[in-house]
Structure 1
């Protein structure tokens, strides 16, 4: 049996309300100070909630994405010739603007073509999984994944009308007293390369899994069956046991049903190890970046793992009996192992799991 080549993350870049650049994200999540504040980008006078995690100064989405792709490619050492032989996968909110955005980004950054992903909150992680599959299959040596969302009035209004936004201006994943999610800016780009051609590895992408449960258009399966299958698939692809996982950056949005379902999924997929694996959701710090969340959180996860410290679960008020997990509170913890999961879920029952390791 021919052994398939490994996949590594090399260049990484991200921007959020925590700051610009990968190091700003790491410093922000380890400081543990949430970036939420009143919305100044548009009028929220008729809304129930007036809070999000937004950058004080931000360019247009196309410009921000181009800057992120350029920074990630530069960090990975990709010259024009290597970019011209690479795939570009882009995760953004759907709409008539997407073809032009994708075409302009591909042409400006020097890529021959681009795939687009508009599958809500698993857009970016689906793109990462596909990029890894392309590399493992031998179709390409490397791929760049980029994703972006900037808080804007339409999605804000939808989440507010659906009573999903936190009424106390804080996101409290897995905590008693949580009241919902808050949106946040997120722009990220990563380079994935076949291990034997990667020159500047940041992390190994060891496994990935995707599964659907189709339980409800908006609500998750209370048993977390789809997410559990995604985690199991990622572990199986990596050839690792649940006990090898040393951290979970959870999807946990701070909503009642979603957090409880994710806790159930982790208990099913990890078994007894679920009670001992440190868990946090960095959405409590940088907000929910919708289509870009998965990539932003992947960057944060690999940087934290590389640094050897695991970020806190901000906003904690007290334990919820429906979420019996080892939630990281008060201060960052030392990383006990070199493996971590980054989880995401979307409306319609779509679930993804990415398993990374220190190189």
Structure 2
């Protein structure tokens, strides 16, 4: 267990509608100014909603993922030998990453990226919807913790494209008013956003061996299922609560040690209320004081990449001592009795934070990170 408590994040990179790199990402979520704008990447004629959070100039998904991996490895100080010892866990949507441009089919994409970026010929692909990236991090942490691997590059990518956009629009999941309002009264739904992210996760021993400073520690992780409904979450939040409990147990920390929750909250009525119920189950009365925000309100929902994008946001927030704003908030909702960060960033008062994700089918993940 001692090694499991010392899993280090040593390098990160992110692309979102807020810009390229972690600096614009952090600045954007702290400012709380949403990045949603009319979609120009493809034709939205006839769609009910026509906005998303997209970066104007992007390459193919394969090229953007390769760039993210390369920058994260350089940020971690990995030389050629260090890269060659790193496995690649990749979270991305099934099928060809065809917009913008084109690229290898998903089954070949991980191997293509590993070769292109000089990583080990040991790859995994995650296509488990909105918990893809967080599940990849949990698996990487577990495998490093038990000594199967020393180092894993976890990468994830989603660039807003017409197929998923059409599905969500047809299902009336999008916010018709063009704003994501997590936990708020009057919330109408989610909006999609670009996210291409990579981070380097390694054992404390491996990081120390090469003198690499850490950005954060992954202290715990948890996964649990609802088995409640194909699309709707358990209204009591049972599955997500079990995932959070598992993360706390694995970290050996009490609930009161957590000083921030980067919530999954998508701005949809049922999902947000379910997550609030889960937090009440875990934290009890403390849930009314624990700072919570969903940065999807600023950068949008990056689907398979959302878990990694929000993990990076959480790490950056802890390092800078400021907790991001929950944009779009109109008024409290009695089904979400939480301490939502609405007006300005809150100071971080403890070194531990949770980032949560949930997906269709009742999958739930919780990642618990702390100071390095």
Query: What's the TM-score bracket when you normalise by the shorter of the two chains?
Result: over 0.9
Q: For residues 115 and 87 of structure 2, what CA distance do their matches in structure 1 show? A: 12
Structure 2 residue aligned with 1:290 = 303
The number of aligned residues is 358
Kindly report which structure 2 residues correspond to 1:340-351, keeping only aligned pairs within 5 A, or say none.
340-351=353-364
Q: CA RMSD in A?
A: 0.9
Structure 2 residue aligned with 1:186 = 195
Structure 1 residue aligned with 2:49 = 49
2:361 is aligned with 1:313: no
Shift of 1:272: 2.1
The alignment partner of 1:24 has SS state of helix
The alignment partner of 2:38 has SS state of coil
Shift of 1:113: 2.4
Which TM-score applies when normalising by structure 2?
A: 0.95
Contact 1:7–1:195 (CA under 8 A) maintained in structure 2:
yes
Structure 2 residue aligned with 1:76 = 76
Kindly report which structure 2 residues correspond to 1:260-299, keeping only aligned pairs within 5 A, or say none.
260-299=273-312
Structure 1 residue aligned with 2:107 = 99
Q: For residues 270 and 123 of structure 1, what CA distance do their matches in structure 2 show? A: 26
2:341 is aligned with 1:328: yes
Shift of 1:197: 2.5
Shift of 1:345: 0.2
1:331-355 residue CA offsets vs partner (Å, 9 max, x unmatched): 0010011110000000000000000
1:204-262 residue CA offsets vs partner (Å, 9 max, x unmatched): 10000000011110000000100000000000000111101100000000000000000
Q: For residues 149 and 290 of structure 1, what CA distance do their matches in structure 2 show? A: 7
1:48-106 residue CA offsets vs partner (Å, 9 max, x unmatched): 00110000101000000000000000000111111111111000001261112112101
The answer to which of 254-263 and 271-280 deviates more is: 271-280
Q: For residues 345 and 132 of structure 1, what CA distance do their matches in structure 2 show? A: 19
Structure 1's consecutive aligned runs of 4 or more residues displaced over 2 angstroms after TM superposition are 2-5
The alignment partner of 1:95 has SS state of coil
Shift of 1:315: 0.1
Kindly report which structure 2 residues correspond to 1:1-359, keeping only aligned pairs within 5 A, or say none.
3-5=2-4, 6-95=6-95, 97-111=105-119, 112-198=121-207, 199-359=212-372
The alignment partner of 1:197 has SS state of helix
Contact 1:172–1:178 (CA under 8 A) maintained in structure 2:
yes
Q: For residues 247 and 291 of structure 2, what CA distance do their matches in structure 1 show? A: 18
The answer to which of 98-107 and 323-332 deviates more is: 98-107
Q: For residues 86 and 115 of structure 2, what CA distance do their matches in structure 1 show? A: 13
Q: For residues 171 and 66 of structure 2, what CA distance do their matches in structure 1 show? A: 33
Contact 1:77–1:200 (CA under 8 A) maintained in structure 2:
no
Give unmatched runs, 5+ long, in structure 2.
97-104
Structure 1 residue aligned with 2:100 = none
Q: For residues 177 and 213 of structure 2, what CA distance do their matches in structure 1 show? A: 42
Contact 1:11–1:200 (CA under 8 A) maintained in structure 2:
no
